A and B are shown apart, each in its own frame.
Chain A
Amino acid sequence: MIYLLLFIEFFKIGLFSIGGGLSTIPFLSELGIKYNWYTQKGLIDMIAVSESTPGPIGINMATYVGYKTAGVLGAILASLSEVLPAIIIITIIAKTISNFKNNDYFNKLLIYIRPCTFALIVTAFINVFSNSVLPINQINNINAFINSIDIRLILIFIGIYLLKTKTKYHPLVYIVISAVIGIIIF
């Protein structure tokens, strides 16, 4: 039955993709080939939609694939199955941590792991920045880089940053402002 298949496959995806929603994409690609629930082209469209819709990309993808496969019920089932491994693992970790919270060497371990995590986050930021504002990750190809400079994007980026440093609104306010500016400028 398709619901059982959805549950098993998305539970596996939820278990094996480490490091964010984008790492589910190779698994989803295989899934499409295995069961013929969607084409690779269809998958690419779903990725584009998932990246642009609010919410975690991994969940958006699961919902979309689930919907394509088995309607609303499929959408819900795929998403729930994908988050189940994380819920279980994190709950176990949370219980373990609360025993260690005052443990000295646990905290000492964290001291060295934090800079590593920060490096991962900086890398992620560079990728997002390159896709949105200015492709600094392609700086080794000077000509392509110079051609891709769009001063409007850079201005919006700087403008919103300055606004944020001077004001204290809810994050959503800045997001709406940047969206409206996008509609006006482009």
Chain B
Amino acid sequence: MDKTKFGSLYISFFKIGLFTFGGGLAMLPMFEKEICEKHNWATTDEILDYYSISQMTPGVIAVNVATFIGNKEKGILGGVVATLGVISPSIMLISIIAAFINNIYSFPIVQNLLKGLACGVCALMIPSLIKFYKSSIKNIFTFIIFIVCLFLLLVVKISPIYIIISTIIFSVLINIKEIIK
């Protein structure tokens, strides 16, 4: 059994879990660094597709991507090891904070640190947003879908779940001719 593969899965996802502040899109730069650049376990487009699927399934993005990648590399056990990697930093850090320094975030210096950090994290998301845009919007039709969904989410404030389900139904209907064949 190739222990080193499991080892690098665990360590890479441990780093991803440790260095990500703010979940979701904020993780994309770390995913790209570790998964694409460093280990070549997947392409950026594949990761974006995992994001898409993760929006419709239970579970946090980090765990879903970890399971996908781990599964791809080393089967079911790989998925489990990668997931354990991504959640380990959380378990360790939170346990320590909860046990000893649960008022850590009331210190001004920590709050100021987080204020600056939050801005930095936002800034790092912009390149990821651009990548995602290029991958998702290829023509006027997909652009319209994007705008309509955005409008429904922001202005009409429909719950994401309904938007996702509607889009799936819509895309199945569009392709219904091919599926029937």
Contacts and interface: CB of A to CB of B under 8 A. Distances in A.
A183 B58 CA distance: 37
Nearest to A13: B58
A117 B136 contact: yes
A20 B26 CA distance: 13
A133 interface: yes
Contact of A59 (B90, B111, B135): B90
Given A55-B20, A79-B91, A121 B124 contact: no
B17 A178 contact: no
A114 B47 CA distance: 12
Interface string B56-68: 1111111110011
B11 interface: no
Contacts of B111: 186
Contacts of B129: 121-122, 125
Interface string B104-132: 11000101111111111111111101001
Nearest to B172: A109
Contacts of A55: 17-18, 20, 62, 86-87, 89-90, 93-94
A123 B147 CA distance: 11
Contacts of B56: 18
A49 B122 contact: no
Contacts, number: 322
B167 A86 contact: no
Chain B: interface size category: 35 or more
Nearest to B138: A111
Contact of B60 (A58, A95, A133, A165): A58
Interface hub of A17, A89, A117, A165 (most chain B Cβ within 10 A): A117
A108 B178 contact: yes
Contacts of A171: 19, 29-30, 33, 124
Contacts of A89: 57-59
Contacts of B7: none
Contacts of A31: none
Nearest to A163: B123
B83 interface: yes
A118 interface: yes
A117 B18 CA distance: 25
21 contacts: A19-B55, A55-B62, A56-B62, A59-B17, A63-B98, A64-B98, A75-B95, A90-B59, A104-B178, A109-B175, A119-B146, A119-B150, A119-B163, A120-B55, A120-B149, A122-B150, A125-B25, A132-B121, A133-B118, A175-B120, A182-B115
Given A113-B52, A165-B127, 12 more contacts: A19-B160, A54-B20, A89-B58, A94-B71, A108-B171, A114-B48, A116-B164, A120-B163, A128-B26, A128-B125, A175-B117, A186-B111
Interface of A: 14-21, 45, 48-60, 63-64, 67-68, 72, 75-76, 79-80, 83, 85-87, 89-91, 93-95, 104-105, 108-126, 128-129, 131-133, 153, 156-161, 164-165, 170-172, 174-175, 177-183, 185-186
